[in-house]
C-alpha cells in the first residue's frame, strides 16, 4: 500500500503514454493509496479519462475494487457524469452496476444528469 504511486498521478492527470509505460514496466495496476484506498482505476474513472480506463482494464485492473467509502470506479465515473467511462466500466463488469457503497448507493444513484442517467440504463 502506497501513499500515492506514479501510476495514480498519471491516471488522474490523463497522461496516457506515462500510464502505458509504467504498466509495461509492471507497475501495480491495483495499488491502493494509504488514505482513501483508491486504485489508479478509481482516479482515471473519477476524471473521465476513458482511454486510460480501457488501458488499465486491459492490464487486468479490478473494476470492483472498493475504496474507503465502499465505492468502485463505476461510482466515481457516475458521480461525475462521464458517460464513455461508465460504458467502458459496465462492459468490463456488468454486475458492478448493483454494487452499493458504504451509504447503500448504487452507481446510478450518484448520477445527477437525466441524460447520463438515461444512457446509464441502456
Residue 17 falls inside a structural domain: no
CA distance 41 to 6: 13
At 71, is the secondary structure helix, strand, or coil?
coil
Q: What is the pLDDT of residue 97?
A: 95
Residue numbers in the chain where pLDDT is lower than 70: 1-2, 122
Q: What is the pLDDT of residue 100?
A: 98
Q: What is the CATH number of the domain that holds 37?
A: 1.25.40.20
Q: How many CA atoms lie within 13 A of 57 on its CB side?
A: 22
Q: What is the pLDDT of residue 1?
A: 46
Domain of residue 113, residue span: 29-120
Residue 43 falls inside a structural domain: yes
Q: What is the pLDDT of residue 5?
A: 85
Residue 105 falls inside a structural domain: yes
| Domain count for the chain | 1
Residue 3 falls inside a structural domain: no
Residue 16 falls inside a structural domain: no
Amino acid at each position: 500500500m502506497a501513499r500515492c504511486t506514479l501510476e495514480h498521478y498519471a491516471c488522474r492527470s490523463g497522461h496516457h503514454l506515462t500510464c502505458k509505460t509504467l504498466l509495461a514496466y509492471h507497475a501495480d495496476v491495483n495499488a491502493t493509496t494509504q488514505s482513501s484506498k483508491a486504485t489508479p482505476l478509481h482516479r482515471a474513472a473519477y476524471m473521465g479519462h476513458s482511454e486510460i480506463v480501457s488501458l488499465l482494464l486491459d492490464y487486468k485492473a479490478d473494476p470492483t475494487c472498493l475504496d474507503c467509502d465502499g465505492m468502485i470506479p463505476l461510482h466515481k465515473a457516475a458521480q461525475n457524469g462521464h458517460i464513455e467511462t461508465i460504458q467502458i466500466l459496465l462492459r468490463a463488469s456488468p454486475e458492478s452496476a448493483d454494487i452499493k457503497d458504504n451509504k447503500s448507493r448504487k452507481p446510478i444513484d450518484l448520477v445527477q444528469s437525466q441524460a447520463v442517467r438515461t444512457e446509464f440504463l441502456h
